[in-house]
Chains A and B, each alone.
Chain A
Amino acid sequence: MHILILLLYILLLFTVVMLHVAYATYFERKIIGHMQVRMGPMEVGWHGLLQPIADGIKCFFKEDIIPENVDPLGFRLAPVVSLTAMVASLAVLPFAPGWVLADIDIGLLFVFAMSGLAGYGVILAGWASNSKFSFLGGLRSMAQVISYEIALGLSLVGVMLLSGSLNLSTIVEAQGGTFGGMYIFPQFIAFGVFFVAMLAETNRVPFDLPEAEAELVSGYSTEYSGMRYAIFFMAEYVGMLVMSSLGTICFFGGWSGPFAVPYFPALWFVLKVYAFMFVFIWIRATMPRYRYDQLMELGWKWLIPLALANIVLTAVCKALF
């Protein structure tokens, strides 16, 4: 019985997140459109509101094309690995007090592990596609994910030190539910590092080198089409949602807000996550892409030392006061 309820919860979470993912694409297209003084999708439904559904149906019913010279197993496996790893990290995210599938004590580590694993999907796609564009995209993605994973992990060590836990619910509770208690204030350096690393980790502009259209066609997903491509796309957006949630939980006090909302305690959490998503999209509409060596330089020469300095600073402050 317990397992059945859990399965129901999982199904509910998955459905809700997938709907959010679908509408995140709509949100992105609309916002980027208006930032470029266009309109974005307008045709399907009122102001294009049904566009994501139409896209989903279209992708689902497209012909399943597997190029001749690919490695069939790796090619089929890669999108699944990407999406599964990303979706798995949803399990530990607390959306509201008690609204969490697995309230485990290594929540933060689990999210890191899963976002690291998602990189395997990308490099597997690059390798299995047997195409130079995919291969270069996969290599770049791997190098990028490895270097920024370190900065991402180190930037959150300060948060761990302050809250004394890796459990995400405990981290939110440690921030006390007040405005001044949010870890963005004592951990502003960590937040800066986290934010940049988060962009790089999710392969978003200005760090979207793995799928740099101008030079790599579509990077690791060049050979993919139809539903498999859509799965990569979903994985990217779930990744964005997960990283936004992580930022919200670790720096902006998670579900706590100015007043409690009856019946839907996750409202503040969702609003904060969507503010994060908006910034993601806003940056995409504004920034040019980094050059590859600049990307590595930023990661290794600036973000990692900054994050390390922040750890030392936090630890010293915590020991003294």
Chain B
Amino acid sequence: MQIQYKKKRNLLQNLFLSELVQGMWLTLRRLFTKPITLQYPHEQPNVRRGFRGQHALVRDPETHTTRCVGCMKCVMVCPSRCIRIRIQKRPEHGNRRFISAYHIDALRCVYCGYCAEVCPVNAIILTEVFAYSAFDRKSLSYDMPQLLDNWDRYLAEQGEDLAQYVNPTWRPRGLPEGPMPAGKRLPVPDDWKGKGQVVGRLWRQSVQGQNR
């Protein structure tokens, strides 16, 4: 690889401090550009779908409780081990598992989104809600009713229908559809799957640059 260094400065450039002048010119130009600051409490950021924020358990419209089947995949995959699930089996329902407790410690969570990615029934989700601080630890340690409430609030805020709702943490962009469990093969726009996927702004820009 050839490294392109800057040209060596000649005596005149050294004498008149051309490098310093270049630097000063750069900062002077920046003085007249628009600041990128977001005045947070006054302006809200535009949080895009797929941001990993507050946890929620999707409430199934039919059973009015969680969709979780107690497969424990999220518990196994969680790097910070912040999920605890207690399951029961009821003799009258055969081998079916029932969730008697689903617990997430939001203060331990690292917001990697693995739990949502691995969940075969799209039960857990990291919503776009990011402002949910509290004054004590206890209220940031969510149990199942709280998580279901989080979901209700989130869905009402978004004004969306669960039938059409799909979150990138459930079905990460660019994964092939074949090996996914049936529940994850949600209807998504073309740019989410296969070649049409959008990985990010930089990627899109580079593709546009190549076409040109």
Residues in A neighbouring B35, C-beta threshold 8 A: 33-34, 37-39
- Chain B residue with the shortest CB-CB distance to A42: B39
Residues in B neighbouring A283, C-beta threshold 8 A: 24
CA gap between A42 and B42 in the complex, in Å: 11
Interface string of A44-68 (1 = CB under 8 A from B): 0000000000000000000000000
Residues in A neighbouring B23, C-beta threshold 8 A: 286-287
Asked if A104 is at the interface of the complex by the 8 Å CB criterion, the answer is no
Asked if A35 is at the interface of the complex by the 8 Å CB criterion, the answer is yes
Asked if B11 is at the interface of the complex by the 8 Å CB criterion, the answer is no
Asked if B20 is at the interface of the complex by the 8 Å CB criterion, the answer is yes
CA gap between A33 and B31 in the complex, in Å: 8
Residues in B neighbouring A33, C-beta threshold 8 A: 35
Residues in A neighbouring B33, C-beta threshold 8 A: 34, 37
**Which of A31, A39, A285, A286 has a CB less than 8 Å from the CB of B37?**
A39
Residues in B neighbouring A31, C-beta threshold 8 A: 31
Interface string of A1-36 (1 = CB under 8 A from B): 000000000000000000000000000000101111
Interface string of B26-40 (1 = CB under 8 A from A): 111011111111010
**Which of A37, A38, A39, A282 has a CB less than 8 Å from the CB of B24?**
A282
**A282, B39: Cβ atoms closer than 8 Å:** no
**B39, A36: Cβ atoms closer than 8 Å:** no
**B27, A282: Cβ atoms closer than 8 Å:** yes
CA gap between A112 and B36 in the complex, in Å: 43
**What total of chain A residues lie within 8 Å of the partner, measured CB to CB?**
14
Residues in A neighbouring B28, C-beta threshold 8 A: 35, 282
Interface string of A269-291 (1 = CB under 8 A from B): 00000000000001101110000
Residues in A neighbouring B31, C-beta threshold 8 A: 31, 34-35
Residues in B neighbouring A287, C-beta threshold 8 A: 20, 23
- Chain A residue with the shortest CB-CB distance to B24: A286
**Which of B27, B34, B39 has a CB less than 8 Å from the CB of A35?**
B27
Residues in B neighbouring A38, C-beta threshold 8 A: 35-37
CA gap between A33 and B33 in the complex, in Å: 11
Q: Min CB distance, A220 to chain B, in Å?
A: 28
**B24, A36: Cβ atoms closer than 8 Å:** no
Q: Min CB distance, B49 to chain A, in Å?
A: 27
**B interface bracket (residues with beta carbon within 8 Å of A):** 10 to 19
CA gap between A165 and B27 in the complex, in Å: 39
Within 8 A of A (CB), among B26-78: 26-28, 30-37, 39
Residues in A neighbouring B30, C-beta threshold 8 A: 34-37
Q: Min CB distance, A142 to chain B, in Å?
A: 27
**B39, A39: Cβ atoms closer than 8 Å:** yes
**A286, B27: Cβ atoms closer than 8 Å:** yes
CA gap between A282 and B30 in the complex, in Å: 11
CA gap between A289 and B39 in the complex, in Å: 31
CA gap between A38 and B26 in the complex, in Å: 15
**B27, A285: Cβ atoms closer than 8 Å:** yes
Q: Min CB distance, B187 to chain A, in Å?
A: 41
CA gap between A285 and B29 in the complex, in Å: 12
Residues in B neighbouring A35, C-beta threshold 8 A: 27-28, 30-31
CA gap between A116 and B76 in the complex, in Å: 68
CA gap between A215 and B30 in the complex, in Å: 28
CA gap between A247 and B189 in the complex, in Å: 66
CA gap between A176 and B26 in the complex, in Å: 36
- Chain A residue with the shortest CB-CB distance to B22: A286
- Chain B residue with the shortest CB-CB distance to A279: B24
CA gap between A282 and B36 in the complex, in Å: 20
Residues in B neighbouring A282, C-beta threshold 8 A: 24, 27-28
**A37, B27: Cβ atoms closer than 8 Å:** no
- Chain A residue with the shortest CB-CB distance to B41: A43
Q: Min CB distance, B37 to chain A, in Å?
A: 4
CA gap between A287 and B36 in the complex, in Å: 22
CA gap between A197 and B26 in the complex, in Å: 24
Q: Min CB distance, A225 to chain B, in Å?
A: 28
Q: Min CB distance, B137 to chain A, in Å?
A: 30
- Chain A residue with the shortest CB-CB distance to B29: A35
Residues in A neighbouring B32, C-beta threshold 8 A: 34
Q: Min CB distance, B33 to chain A, in Å?
A: 6
Q: Which 4 A-B pairs give the minimum distances between C-beta atoms? A: A39-B37, A286-B27, A39-B35, A35-B27
List 9 other contacts, CB 8 Å, given A35-B30, A38-B37, A286-B24: A31-B31, A34-B32, A34-B35, A36-B30, A37-B33, A38-B35, A39-B37, A282-B24, A286-B27
12 contacts between A and B (CB under 8 A): A31-B31, A34-B30, A35-B27, A35-B28, A35-B31, A36-B30, A37-B30, A37-B33, A38-B37, A282-B27, A283-B24, A287-B20
